[in-house]
Structure 1
Amino acid sequence: MSTSDTVITDELAIEIARLGMVRESSDVATLHRVTQLASRAVAGCAGATSLRWALDESPEPLVAASSHPDLAELVDLQLARREGPLFDAVRDRRPVGCDDTLAETRWPGHVAAMLRRGVRCFITTVLEYEQVLVTLTVYGVVPGALDPSRQALASLLLAQGGAAVSNTRQFGDVHRTAVQLQQAVEARAVVDQAKGILMHALGCDAERAFAELRRISQTRHVKLTAIAQRIVSGQGLSEVPPPGRDDGQGG
Structure 2
Amino acid sequence: MTRPMDAVTDDAAVAPWLVRLGARAMRCSAGCRGATVFLRCPGGEALGTATHPDLAVLAALQEDTGEGPCVEAARSLRTVAAVDLVAEARWPHFRVAALERGLRACTAVPVLAGGATATVTLYAFRPWRLTAPDREAVTVLAEETVAGLLRERARTGAEAEAEQLRTAMLSRAVIDQAIGIVTHLLDCAPDRAFDVLRVLSQRTNRKLSAVAAQIVRAKGRGSTRELRRLLDEVRAGAA
The alignment's TM-score, normalised by the length of structure 1, stands at 0.75
SS in 2 for 1:151: helix
Q: Hey, what does 1:158 align to over in structure 2? A: 142
Q: CA RMSD in A?
A: 2.6
Q: Hey, what does 1:37 align to over in structure 2? A: 24
SS in 2 for 1:26: helix
CA distance, structure 2, for counterparts of residue 155 and residue 32 of structure 1 = 15
What amino acid is the match of 2:116?
Answer: V
Cα 1:197–1:148 change in 2 (3 A) is: same
Among 111, 123, 144, which residue is 2:107 paired with? 123
CA distance, structure 1, for counterparts of residue 32 and residue 190 of structure 2 = 70
- Indicate conservation of the 8 Å contact 1:213/1:228, yes or no: yes
* 1:30-54 deviations in Å (ceiling 9; x for gaps): 1111112222333332111101124
CA distance, structure 1, for counterparts of residue 222 and residue 57 of structure 2 = 60
CA distance, structure 2, for counterparts of residue 61 and residue 180 of structure 1 = 24
What amino acid is the match of 1:232?
Answer: V
* Bigger radius of gyration among the two: 2
Shift of 1:206: 3.2
Find out whether 1:89 has 2:83 as its counterpart. no
Shift of 1:162: 0.9
CA distance, structure 1, for counterparts of residue 137 and residue 165 of structure 2 = 41
SS in 1 for 2:160: helix
Cα 1:93–1:61 change in 2 (3 A) is: farther
SS in 1 for 2:102: coil
What amino acid is the match of 1:139?
Answer: Y
Shift of 1:25: 6.4
Find out whether 1:195 has 2:182 as its counterpart. no
- Indicate conservation of the 8 Å contact 2:105/2:125, yes or no: yes
* 1:121-180 deviations in Å (ceiling 9; x for gaps): 211111221132221111122312422443111111110111122122212211221121
- Indicate conservation of the 8 Å contact 1:45/1:145, yes or no: no
Shift of 1:183: 1.0
- Indicate conservation of the 8 Å contact 2:201/2:207, yes or no: yes
Q: Hey, what does 2:35 align to over in structure 1? A: 48
Find out whether 1:74 has 2:61 as its counterpart. no
Among 206, 213, 232, which residue is 1:222 paired with? 206
How many percent identity over aligned positions?
Answer: 35
Give 5+ residue unaligned stretches, structure 2. Answer: 1-10, 227-239
**Larger helix percent:** 2
Q: Hey, what does 1:181 align to over in structure 2? A: 165
Shift of 1:207: 3.2
Query: How many residue pairs align between the two structures?
Result: 214
Shift of 1:28: 1.6
